[in-house]
Amino acid sequence: MKNILIDTIQGRFHSRPPVWFMRQAGRILPEYLNLRKKYSFDELMKNKTLASKVTRMPVDTLGVDAAILFSDILIIPNALGLDLEFTDKGPIFKNPLNVKDFNFSNLSLNENTLKHVYENINQVKADLNNNVPLLGFCGGPLTTLLFMFRGSTDQKNFEGLLSLFYSNKKKFLELIEIITDASIKYVKNQIISGIDCFQLFETYCGIMPSKEYCDYILPFSNKILKASKDMNCPTIFFPKNLNNGLKNLEKKYCDYVSVDWQIDLEYARELLDADIGIQGNMDPRFFYSNEQEIKSYLHSLVDFGSKNHNWIFNLGHGFQPGINYEKVIFLVELIQNLNWKRK
C-alpha cells in the first residue's frame, strides 16, 4: 500500500517523518474512555466491531499516519494455558508460573484463543479501506515470560525470575523457546490476516545486562522478527533500554528499531547499523508541559530529521493515562506542517 509510514520504511522519500504513537489506541482519548464505562477491556478486545472502532480512533482523532491493533501482549501467555483476567487494575494471571516449583509441560498453544485477533484484523482492514497501514504486534520473549511469572502488570519485582536465569539457564531458555515458537505462529497469522507492519515489544530487556540479553535472549527475538521479515512484512523491533546493545542488531532481522527516551537519538543512530531505520523517542510525560515547550522540543529535532530520512517519530514508550489528547493533536499537526529541510 502507498503510505508515508510504509514508504519511509521501504526507503522512499517524504518531506517529513511519519508519526504514530505506542498505546495510541485508548488511554488518552475521550471516546475510548467513554466506551470503557460501558465495556470491559476484554469485551472491547474480543468484539471485532468495538476493537476496530478503538483501533481507528487515533487515526480519526489524532491524525496519525498509522493504526496499531487494539490488543495486548499477554494474549500469548493466555493462549499457552495461563488463565488471564483483565481487571480495572490491569491484567492478572490466576495461575502464574512459580520460580521455585514450576511445571511448564502443560504449556501448549491453543490457537483457538487467538482467532478473535485475526478476525479483528480482518475487520479493521475493511474499515480502514487502505487509508492508513495497520500495525500488528506481540511481546518479546523475555517480556512475555516476566509477566507469566509475576502474574500481573503491577508487580515490579523480577528478582525471582532473574535468579532462575543465572542459576538454571537451560530451564529458562526452554521457556523462552516455547514462547518464541508460539509467537512465530501468532505473527505469521497476523500477517496472513492483513497487517501491513509488525512491531515486537521487548519492553523489559533492560532488566538484565545488555550483553546477557544479546547473548542469550536476542537470538530468540531475532527468530520472531525473521518470521515477519521472511513474509515481506515491514518489521520494527522495540528493545527498551538495550542502550549500547543496539549495536548488535542486524538489518536481516528488523527494518527499524524503536528506541526509548533514555538514549539520545543521535547516539542511538550511531550505534545502529546504517541500514536500519530508527523510531522514537519522545518522553510521553513531555505532554504535561505547555504547547510552547512542545513546539521548542520539536524544533530541536529538525536537524536530526533533515539528515535522517529513515526516522519515524514516536514515543520512547506508551502514553501515560491523563495526558491531554489536544496537546497530542497539536504535536501531530506540527510534525505534519513543519519544514523539515529535506532535499
Spatial separation of the C-alpha atoms in residues 179 and 142, rounded to whole Å? 9
* Backbone phi and psi for residue 120, each to the nearest 5 degrees, phi listed first: -65, -40
Binned at pLDDT 50, 70 and 90, residue 152 comes out as very low
Which pLDDT does position 92 carry in this prediction? 82
Residues with Cβ < 8 Å from 133, sequence gap 6 or more?
1, 3, 5, 6, 66, 67, 196, 197
**For residues 248-261, average pLDDT:** 98
**pTM attached to this predicted model:** 0.95
> Which amino acid type is present at position 45?
M
| pLDDT above 90: residue 151 | no
List the single range of 17-26, 104-113, 175-184 with lowest mean pLDDT: 104-113
Residue (of 263, 215, 256, 253) closest to 238 by Cα position: 256
For residues 145, 152, 44 and 181, what is the CA-based torsion angle, rounded to 10 degrees? Answer: 10
**For residues 2-11, average pLDDT:** 93
Which pLDDT does position 31 carry in this prediction? 96
Residues with Cβ < 8 Å from 156, sequence gap 6 or more?
none
| pLDDT above 90: residue 266 | yes
Residue 274 to residues 104, 191, 251, 341, Cα–Cα distance (Å)? 41, 27, 9, 21
| pLDDT above 60: residue 154 | no
What is the chain's mean pLDDT, rounded? 93
Buried (b) or exposed (e) across 7-17, using 16+ Cβ within 10 A?
A: ebbeeeeeebb
Buried (b) or exposed (e) across 248-267, using 16+ Cβ within 10 A?
A: bbeeebbbbbbbbbebebee
Task: State pLDDT tens for residues 22-72.
Answer: 999 888 999 999 999 999 999 999 999 999 999 999 999 999 999 999 999
**For residues 219-237, average pLDDT:** 99
Residue (of 279, 106, 117) closest to 183 by Cα position: 117
For residues 128, 129, 131 and 136, what is the CA-based torsion angle, rounded to 10 degrees? Answer: 50
Which pLDDT does position 98 carry in this prediction? 76
Spatial separation of the C-alpha atoms in residues 203 and 331, rounded to whole Å? 25
Q: For the domain bounded by 4-337, which CATH number is listed?
A: 3.20.20.210
Which pLDDT does position 101 carry in this prediction? 61
**For residues 227-240, average pLDDT:** 98
Strand partners, 198: 136, 235
pLDDT over 70 percentage in the chain: 96
Binned at pLDDT 50, 70 and 90, residue 74 comes out as very high
**For residues 308-334, average pLDDT:** 96
* Other beta carbons less than 10 A from residue 202's beta carbon: 25
| pLDDT above 90: residue 115 | yes
Binned at pLDDT 50, 70 and 90, residue 160 comes out as confident
Spatial separation of the C-alpha atoms in residues 257 and 142, rounded to whole Å? 17
Which pLDDT does position 310 carry in this prediction? 98
Counts of helices then strands in the chain (DSSP H, E): 15, 9
Of residues 151 and 242, the one with the higher pLDDT is 242
Q: Within 13 Å of residue 265, how many CA atoms lie on the same side as its CB?
A: 23
Of residues 131 and 290, the one with the higher pLDDT is 290
Instruction: Give the highest mean pLDDT range of 83-87, 101-105, 144-148, 154-158.
Output: 144-148
